[in-house]
Amino acid sequence: MSEYHQIFDLGDFTTQHGATLRGAFLAYATYGELNADRSNAIVYPTWYSGRHWDNEWLIGPGMALDPAEYFIIVPNMLGNGLSSSPSNTLQPYDRARFPDITVYDQVAAQYRLVTEKFGIERLALVTGWSMGAGQTYQWAVSHPEMVERIAPFCGSARTSLHNKVFLEGVKAALTADSAFAGGWYGENWPTIGLRAMARVYAGWGFSQAFYWEQEYETLGYTSLEDFLIGFWEGFFLDGRDPNNLLSMLWTWQNGDVGRTPGFDGDTEAALASIKATALVLPAEKDLYFPPEDEAWAVSHIPNAELRVIPGIWGHFAGHGSNPEDTQFIDSALSDLLGKPGGLA
């Protein structure tokens, strides 16, 4: 795990909805070297509350994302606490006043990093887990001329209504704590709300069968309650600022490639515009990104394959904690990188 990262200055960043973040910035990390013709770049965005180092499990020697072969850029999402976020933005756009950031905005910021900082014109691959998958789809829609391949795993091009409802529960639990104070809490964070949010999330992150099999024991947890406290409450108490969490949650709830300018809300048309070769990887028992939703997306993308990650880990198949799932995803990425890109 490397906490080392670089900062790319976005200057005045105007969002899709018209706010301007002055002095905005992206925190990012890179792995490997950009080759001479700048043809080996991969973008691998972060997931809900994830930081760049949380993506490193899928990067390494001998893996599909091998830094000896590829130049892998991991941009931190706006809102995640490292890039511009409620927690690190000066007034008046600080904390509860941080503007709404769309997935389109996330990719617009990353596009500037990729083109202005590195002069990259083509991406060999965009890939990501969960909200990272949403950004992956968005890359292929926002910049079809740049993206050779996409591999979204455990995520969607448009956040489904059920997924929004799941997130409403998460949000309601966090904000029910009066210490949240409309986002104007001080140094005393609403930890009751964060712990409640963690318990709500726990049922969604892993499948019914994961719990039935007590698979959490393989992660070192000694009882169900130990898993709820040790993994889940610990997860959300680990420096995850509530306003940041709510900012990213808004981004997630409002994800839809159909809202890319030019598509007027037509998600199917946006999917149909994708030129990249796509390998779409939902997890068999993902409770908020179920495989049937991705089958729908694949049916609208010209050159796409659906490959379901089997097993009982549910959404967290894409978290890097289960070796079998990691191998499945890595192998899928190898297959995809061996195929012609969509711009060939």
Long-range contacts of 302-305, Cβ-Cβ distance < 8 Å, separation of 24 or more: 302/272, 302/274, 302/275, 303/274, 303/275, 303/276, 303/277, 303/278, 303/342, 304/274, 304/277, 304/278, 304/279, 304/280, 305/278, 305/279, 305/280
Tell me the two tokens of residue 7. 């900062």
Active site (annotated) includes residue 52: no
Query: Minimum CB separation from its own copies for residue 302, in Å?
Result: 23
Backbone angles phi, psi at 299, to 5 degrees: -65, -15
Give the nearer residue to its own copies in terms of CB position, either 98 or 180: 180
Identify residues 52-71 at the interface with its own copies (CB under 8 A): none
CB of 214 to its own copies, least distance (A): 7
**What would you report as the CA-atom Rg of the chain, rounded to the nearest whole angstrom?**
19
List 44, 204, 250, 263, residue binding its own copies (CB under 8 A): 204
Q: How far is the CB of 315 from its own copies (least distance, A)?
A: 12
Q: Tokens for 180? A: 């949240």
Q: Considering the rule CB under 8 A, would residue 90 count as an interface residue with its own copies?
A: no
Among residues 18, 212, 261, 344, which is the contact residue for its own copies, using CB under 8 A? 212
One residue of 43, 59, 146, 200 binding its own copies per CB under 8 A: 200
> Which is closer to its own copies, CB of 159 or CB of 277?
159
The reply to whether 130 belongs to the active site is yes
For its own copies, the binding residues (CB under 8 A) are 160-166, 168-169, 171-173, 175-179, 192-193, 195-197, 199-204, 206-212, 214, 224, 228, 287-288, 290, 292-293
**Positions marked active-site:** 130, 286, 315
